[in-house]
Amino acid sequence: MPTERTRSRASTTSRAAIIEMLKADHKKVKKAFREFEKLDPEEDSEQCQAIVEQTLADVQVHATLEEELFYPAARSSLSDQDLIDEAEIEHMTVKVLIEQLKSMTPEDEKYAAMFKVLGEYINHHVKEEEGEMFPKLSRAKGDWDGLQEEMTSRRAELEQEFMPHGSAVPDEDMEGEDAKAGSMSGRSSAAARGGTSRSARGEGGARAQAAGGEEDEEEKE
């Protein structure tokens, strides 16, 4: 039987690991927006499209994880409910921008501008999460035990949902021809069909199971 003290230690460890995982996601996405800034949308249109598609998928996985699991836990830990309300509303705006981007092609005059605006918006949102929400959570009481495992397994499902062709790899590996092959092989249309977080939960799980295979094993490590 776990004692009160071991339970609370497990909860603190889980919370710290979750916050580190979310920060790593933020870092990856921010880096992608910086990479995009260095490119010429006309000259490097394929590379631009690959970055956009990968980033939209990464943002959708991250936002769904926060909405389904992290924000509800944060809500029960924090007295400042406005902070979570604002974060959820910001996610709604991010989704609107994502849907607009998905309806565009790289040839579209405003494609690069739209992606840059999404980047600026996400930077603002991340600043609030890392500057306000995470520090408050680190000081608050709450039961986080088990949530890290739940988020890790849900992430594997969501990656199958939004990045179904083996593109769920660290960004360092997304270079050269492999990146192009991965990004051009239908991931965007699959992501476009992805729908909302709730539908993703059911479908993604079933698809992840059906897919089986090596990728699935890797995600569970």
**Residues lying near Fe ion in the complex (CB under 5 A):** 66, 129
Min. distance of Cβ 46 from Fe ion in angstroms?
28
* Closer Cβ to Fe ion, 49 or 64, answer by number: 64
7 contact partners, CB below 8 Å, separation of at least 6: 143, 145
Min. distance of Cβ 59 from Fe ion in angstroms?
9
Min. distance of Cβ 152 from Fe ion in angstroms?
16
Min. distance of Cβ 133 from Fe ion in angstroms?
8
Min. distance of Cβ 221 from Fe ion in angstroms?
23
Query: Do 8 and 123 contact (CB within 8 A), yes or no?
Result: no
Least Cα distance to 54 among 28, 27, 34 occurs for: 28
Count of beta carbons in the 10 Å neighbourhood of residue 89: 10
Alpha carbon of 159 to those of 63, 69, 152, 168, 185: distances in Å?
A: 12, 16, 11, 6, 15
* Closer Cβ to Fe ion, 66 or 157, answer by number: 66
Query: Residue 115's Cα: distance from chain center in Å?
Result: 16
* Closer Cβ to Fe ion, 29 or 156, answer by number: 29
* Closer Cβ to Fe ion, 58 or 66, answer by number: 66
Alpha carbon of 135 to those of 15, 48, 129, 130, 205: distances in Å?
A: 11, 34, 9, 7, 32
* Closer Cβ to Fe ion, 56 or 112, answer by number: 56
Min. distance of Cβ 68 from Fe ion in angstroms?
12
* Closer Cβ to Fe ion, 36 or 70, answer by number: 70
115 contact partners, CB below 8 Å, separation of at least 6: 33, 36, 48, 52, 55, 101
Burial class (CB in 10 A: 0-12, 13-18, 19+), 105: exposed
